[in-house]
């Protein structure tokens, strides 16, 4: 490979056999094809590597680096060392890129030549690929910077395209900030120049019950505090205001199901909402809260809900309605 591509796509992989094929195919289906695809297998113990190799055998744009597990920061930095293009586009092994993602992102960066990096809006999907809702982040550079400085990572890592030169000058990702390595990098980039979010959903982002933000939320919060304090000292010469401290937020599966049910229903994804309303009820049993969630978010409960609102009597007949629904 001698001619430089326009984009280097960087994707770390670890035990992602269920999803990695769809992730790779979404990249290979891009309307903009001038890219190299750098995939770092971080010592996967499942069939991820063999799945990846089948794609690499068919498409020479794919370059696989397989080595023992080092964690996400080591995988990202090893991948960065192989990236040759001026632009680096991040991708995760369990997400799905819209076909026009690279075409639209490159056009956006050409319209804003002073931007060092930009994320996009994105659609949340669950582990089955069912849609939950579209998420938006702050778009304008000043708002992105102020949000980052408040301790909120307002760029979704696998949506980001970034200029290779400043990323490499900063030394890439820092191991001391693992579990919030993206937030740390974005903070350091915004101290060098402008970063933004493109007001267009170009990626489907998968959420899991066992994602890092759930299983390592306390560690993430501590690391975010450290990165934020360092950025404040560098930019303002003072320690950050702690009136709004970073708080670790994690939910157990029942609370996640309730949240996803409400979000999906509000976004018009009624089948997804129904799935999680029922899953919540099965976890916590029949009580006032679970019954109300079921009435709000289960398509089969809309008629009983209307009857309840009209008569106020259905609450005394829960066993009958439950037998009908089940």
Q: What is the mean pLDDT of the chain?
A: 90
**Amino acid 239: pLDDT:** 92
pLDDT-derived band of residue 320, with 50, 70 and 90 as boundaries? very low
- Higher-confidence position of 317 and 82: 82
Write out pLDDT tens, residues 263-277: 999 999 999 999 999
Instruction: Say which range, 139-148, 200-209, 314-323, has the weakest mean pLDDT.
Output: 314-323
Instruction: Say which range, 208-212, 216-220, 242-246, has the weakest mean pLDDT.
Output: 242-246
In 47-184 the beta strands, taken as DSSP E runs, fall at: 62-67, 87-90, 96-97, 115-125, 131-135, 161-163
Q: What percent of the chain has a predicted confidence (pLDDT) above 70?
A: 86
What per-residue string of b and e applies to 309-323 under the rule 16 or more CB within 10 Å gives b? eeeeebeeeeeebee
Domain borders along the chain are 7-208, 253-325
- Higher-confidence position of 317 and 75: 75
**CATH T-level fold of 7-208:** Spore Coat Polysaccharide Biosynthesis Protein SpsA; Chain A (3.90.550)
Report the pLDDT averaged over residues 62-90.
98
């Amino acid at each position: 490979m001698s001619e430089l591509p326009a984009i280097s796509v960087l994707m770390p992989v670890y035990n992602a056999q269920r999803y990695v094929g769809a992730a790779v195919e979404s990249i290979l289906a891009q309307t903009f094809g001038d890219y190299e695809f750098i995939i770092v297998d971080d010592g996967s113990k499942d069939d991820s590597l063999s799945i990846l190799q089948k794609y690499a055998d068919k498409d020479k744009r794919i370059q696989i680096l397989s080595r023992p597990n080092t964690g996400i920061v080591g995988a990202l930095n090893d991948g960065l060392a192989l990236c040759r293009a001026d632009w680096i586009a991040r991708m995760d092994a369990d997400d799905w890129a819209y076909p026009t993602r690279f075409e639209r992102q490159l056009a956006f960066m050409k319209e804003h030549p002073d931007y060092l990096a930009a994320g996009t809006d994105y659609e949340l999907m669950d582990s089955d690929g069912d849609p939950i809702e579209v998420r938006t982040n702050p778009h304008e550079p000043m708002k992105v910077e102020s949000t980052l400085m408040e301790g909120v990572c307002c760029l979704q890592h696998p949506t980001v395209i970034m200029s290779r030169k400043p990323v490499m000058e900063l030394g890439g990702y820092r191991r001391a900030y693992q579990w919030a390595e993206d937030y740390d990098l974005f903070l350091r980039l915004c101290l060098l120049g402008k970063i933004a979010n493109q007001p267009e959903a170009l990626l489907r982002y998968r959420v899991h019950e066992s994602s890092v933000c759930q299983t390592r939320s306390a560690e993430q919060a501590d690391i975010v505090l450290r990165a934020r304090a360092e950025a404040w000292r560098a930019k303002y010469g003072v320690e950050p205001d702690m009136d709004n401290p970073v708080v670790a937020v994690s939910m157990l599966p029942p609370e996640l199901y309730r949240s996803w049910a409400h979000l999906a229903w509000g976004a018009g994804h009624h089948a997804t909402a129904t799935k999680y309303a029922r899953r919540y009820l099965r976890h916590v049993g029949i009580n006032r809260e679970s019954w109300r969630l079921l009435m709000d978010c289960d398509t089969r409960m809309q008629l009983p809900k209307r009857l309840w609102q009209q008569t106020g009597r259905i609450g005394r007949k829960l066993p009958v309605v439950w037998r009908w629904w089940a």
